Amino acid sequence: MQLNRDRYTGWGRVLSAAGGRARPEKARMLDGAPLGPAMGQRRAYGDAALKSAGPALDMTRLDRMLAFDPDTGVLEAEAGVKLSDILTAFAPKGWRPAVLPGTGFATLGGAIAADVHGKNHHEAGTFGAQVLSIRLIGSDGTARDVSETTEPEVFRATLGGMGLTGVILSAKIRLAPCPSGFVDVDEWRIGSLAAYLEAFEASDAPFSVGWIDATAKGPALGRGVFEEARVSNRAPAFAPVAKSRNIPITPPGFVLSGPVVRAFNAAYFRRIPSAGQRRTRPLASFFHPLDGLTNWNRLYGKKGFHQFQCVLPPDSAAMTIDTMLRRIADSGLAAPLAVLKKMGAGRSGPMSFPMAGYTLAVDFPNRGGAEALINTLIDQTVEAGGRIYLAKDSLATPAQIDAMYPELPDFRALVRRLDPEGLFETDLSARLNLRGAS
């Protein structure tokens, strides 16, 4: 099968690979394709969906929804289907994916492989919690159905396993009932980190998330906008999908320079009236606010950007986040996108990211100092007993990951048994020694 030899990147556009990509358009074409790790829409920021040392399989054209049972809400679909397509097709029928990450471009395969979480993580757990079975192509090239009953260990390791157990061809997932196409969103300003954490503790809404101004210092440290939402019972109708806009070119780097970001963040903060506001918004624009601007990652210029995302246990979270925010604000490197969220304990596999506590995610343009800063933040995360998210990482070291993922030794043993030759090795697994081969 024809390989595309062009260089390709992760979402952050810092790391890239040119090991060749096969892209089957029909299920049958997989037979002639070289076996390698699968990738979806490459919304992972770093090198999770890259393979320099050989061919990878682009699954985005195997994106068909195959069967749906309205009695149970179980959907079977090919791995390349975008979560936004599932939402668009099913919300009018009263169903939605139970867990939606911040971008609807994520594919079903990518959502399983990264065991993604959404704004309802504290209630719903991760994506893997609704996965019933996975059709997995193993290192011998044949596909089999893997589930909690057939091969529990392989099944769980595939949830959050970053593609290392094999190629997900299709999966059965349980959708959640969705009585409305809208959510009622309440937003209000938060003045400090302490107030932030209190707001999360006090919230009883199914969806909650906070935007945080990572450039604010001194008494404003930790300020932001808290957002909580409930499925609306006021607006029953469904909105037509808004047309998206594209960033067609890569603009110069000053667009996201320090002063511009500080000014933007201040304005963004004041956008919310001091008394707070309530808005009713369509599901898609609530779950995937940035998707309306296709290729917004190009705003960071040619050099790209990093995202640092960690989760911290409840007892160390407040203090650690405080020092992290100080460091970040002092560095002057932060971008507008910074998110704070309370996490529940739900995680589906040994390599899943979440743990009970708080997660902080901050974008950094790839400028001098950013890598050193992120490295310090990762060390702080290790010290605090937290962990970082593999789907976002491009900079961690094997030792840091060993310290954060206690189940890694068992995962390694399993992956080596399933794939002794390392066919499904990715640049991420090679960098972090996730297979333990070296």
Partner 1 sequence: MSETWIILGASSAMARALARSLAADGHELLLCGRDADDLARDAADLRLRGAALAEVMAFDTRDPDSFAPIIARAEAAGGVVNVAVFAGSMPPQEAVESDPALLDGVVTDNFAAAARFLLHIAPLMESRGAGSVVGVGSVAGDRGRIGNYVYGAAKAGFHTFLSGHRNRMARKGVHVMTVKPGFVDTAMTWGLEGMFLVASPSDVARDIRKGLRKKRNVIYTPIFWTLIMLIIRMIPERIFKKLQI
Ligand X SMILES: Cc1cc2nc3c(=O)[nH]c(=O)nc-3n(C[C@H](O)[C@H](O)[C@H](O)COP(=O)(O)OP(=O)(O)OC[C@H]3O[C@@H](n4cnc5c(N)ncnc54)[C@H](O)[C@@H]3O)c2cc1C
Q: Which two tokens stand for residue 397?
A: 């070291």
Contact criterion met (CB below 8 Å) for 45 and 393:
yes
Question: Of residues 14, 39, 124, 190, which one binds ligand X by CB under 6 A?
Answer: 39
Q: State the minimum distance, in angstroms, from the CB of residue 105 to partner 1.
A: 13
The strand pairing partners of 183, in sequence order, are 231, 281
**Closest alpha carbon to 170 in 204, 131, 213, 134:** 134
Q: Are 120 and 343 in contact (CB under 8 A)?
A: no
CB 401 within 8 A of CB 408: yes
Closest to 10 in 3D by CA, of 293, 300, 246: 300
Residue 101 in the binding site for ligand X (CB under 6 A): yes
Query: Which three-class secondary structure state does DSSP give residue 403?
Result: helix
Convert residues 109-128 into a mask of x (bound to ligand X by CB under 6 A) and - (unbound). xxx-xx-xxx----------
Asked if residue 2 binds partner 1 (CB under 8 A), the reply is yes
Let me know: does 151 contact 418? Beta carbons within 8 Å.
no
Shortest Cβ distance from residue 20 to partner 1 (Å)? Answer: 8
Would you count residue 44 as binding ligand X (CB under 6 A)?
yes
- The minimum distance between CB 292 and partner 1, in angstroms, equals 16
Site for partner 1 contains 263 (CB under 8 A): no
> Applying CB under 6 A, which part among 31-39, 259-267, 310-318, 369-377 lies near ligand X?
31-39
* 265 interface partner picked from partner 1, ligand X, none, CB below 5 to 8 A per type: none
Between the alpha carbon of residue 191 and those of residues 213, 225, 247, 275, the distances in Å are: 10, 9, 33, 13
How far apart are the C-alpha atoms of 229 and 209, rounded to whole Å?
9
Which region, judged by CB under 6 A, interacts with ligand X, from 21-29, 33-41, 182-190, 252-260?
Answer: 33-41
Helix (H) / strand (E) element for 144: namely strand 143-147
Q: According to CB under 8 A, which one of 34, 52, 54, 65 is a site residue for partner 1?
A: 65
Which CB, 126 or 180, lies closer to ligand X? 126
Site string for partner 1, 354-393 (x = CB under 8 A): ----------------------------------------
Number of residues that bind partner 1 (CB under 8 A): 19
Judged by beta carbon, residue 97 or residue 221, the one nearer ligand X is 97
Q: What is the DSSP string of 335-377?
A: -S-EEEEEE-S---STT----SEEEEEEEEES-TTHHHHHHHH
Binding-site ranges for ligand X (CB under 6 A): 11, 37-44, 48-49, 59, 79, 101-103, 106-107, 109-111, 113-114, 116-118, 162-163, 167-168, 290, 391, 426
Binding-site ranges for partner 1 (CB under 8 A): 2-5, 23, 25-28, 61, 64-68, 78, 85, 89-90
